[in-house]
A and B are shown apart, each in its own frame.
Chain A
Amino acid sequence: MAVVFEKTKGLTDVPFSYCPGCTHGIIHRLVAEAMEELGVLDKAIGVASVGCSVFAYEFFNCDMQQAAHGRAPAVATGIKRVHPDKVVFTYQGDGDLAAIGTAEIVHAAARGEKITVIFVNNANYGMTGGQMAPTTLVGQRTTTTPYGRKPEVNGYPIRVSEMLSTLDGAAYIERVAVYDVKHIMQAKKAIKNAFLAQIQNKGFSLVEVLSTCPTNWGMTPVEALKWVKDHMEPYYPLGVYKNTLEEVK
């Protein structure tokens, strides 16, 4: 009997602390599988952020560090500069990366730090109860925008991948989604390429993953996947925004 699918060695046996149907779990698995397939598990160092993914250090089967809110790229910079032979990645949400951590992420990318960032965009602050985030769509209802996000009051959503791809230090930037199996496979390829950009010393790499938050969006997990496809994907187009890799696998 051949094994078609089994749990990757890149994840520990600790059960995920996420809500039912939250795609954080899928993204964790993709990152772990990418590290296992590239053979870098024993030299990977992850930096967990603050938010729903705050316990990421419990789930990844590699060395982990916990950073202050938004400061994961700064911590990862320090780790990578002290240990240039290690593979360093951060795992951050949109409230962490695009709000309080904007300065850190922009300057880490501008400096071309050789780190990989997994950016999970679910269009709100999940852990604290669904408040508006910089990535919340115009018109989207959250607990702090109960009548929908209004640009004249709340401004416009930030497209992080497009913004960072204008910087010369960025080597690989791609936006992916995980709302069906096809996109999950593309997301895994993107994450592997981002790690390769770091391994090849090209510079900063980031993969933005459109994720769901069924609990705070007030939807079933299946409806939430459809919402990503119908509402988030048109505003946040998927694709490779920057690629300086020698060979695309």
Chain B
Amino acid sequence: MAKVIFNEDLCKGCELCVNACPKKIIEMDLSKINTKGYHPATIKPENMDKCIACGFCAMMCPDVVITVIK
């Protein structure tokens, strides 16, 4: 099963990963504010099994926040 790990405190909330995800499962976590003051990107646990581990989010992320394992 694919797993996407977000280094949340580096996220600047630009939403480029949201735009790049072909499955549209990435969203901004509005319940959290990271140390930079942004709502970090996240994938809800119930949506994680929809991930196909394409790595598009990680390739698009300008701050190297994302690690993808499969």
- Chain A bound to chain B: yes
Total residue contacts A-B, CB cutoff 8 A: 77
Q: What is the interface residue range for chain B against chain A?
A: 20 to 34
Is there an interface contact between B62 and A6, defined as CB atoms closer than 8 Å? no
Instruction: List chain B residues, Cβ under 8 A from A7.
Output: 64, 67
Instruction: List chain A residues, Cβ under 8 A from B19.
Output: 222, 225
Instruction: List chain B residues, Cβ under 8 A from A18.
Output: 62-63
**What separation, in Å, do the CA atoms of A18 and B68 have in the docked complex?**
23
Is there an interface contact between B53 and A4, defined as CB atoms closer than 8 Å? yes
Is there an interface contact between A5 and B20, defined as CB atoms closer than 8 Å? no
**What separation, in Å, do the CA atoms of A1 and B56 have in the docked complex?**
18
Instruction: List chain A residues, Cβ under 8 A from B15.
Output: 21, 220-222
Chain A interface, number of residues (Cβ within 8 angstroms): 30
Which positions in A face B, CB cutoff 8 Å? Answer: 1-8, 11, 15-16, 18-26, 29, 180-181, 184-185, 214, 220-222, 225
Which positions in B face A, CB cutoff 8 Å? Answer: 2-3, 10, 12-16, 19-20, 38, 53-56, 58-64, 66-70
21 A-B residue pairs with CB within 8 Å: A1-B70, A2-B70, A3-B69, A3-B70, A4-B69, A16-B62, A16-B64, A20-B14, A21-B12, A21-B14, A21-B15, A21-B62, A22-B62, A25-B61, A29-B64, A180-B20, A181-B59, A181-B60, A184-B60, A222-B16, A225-B19
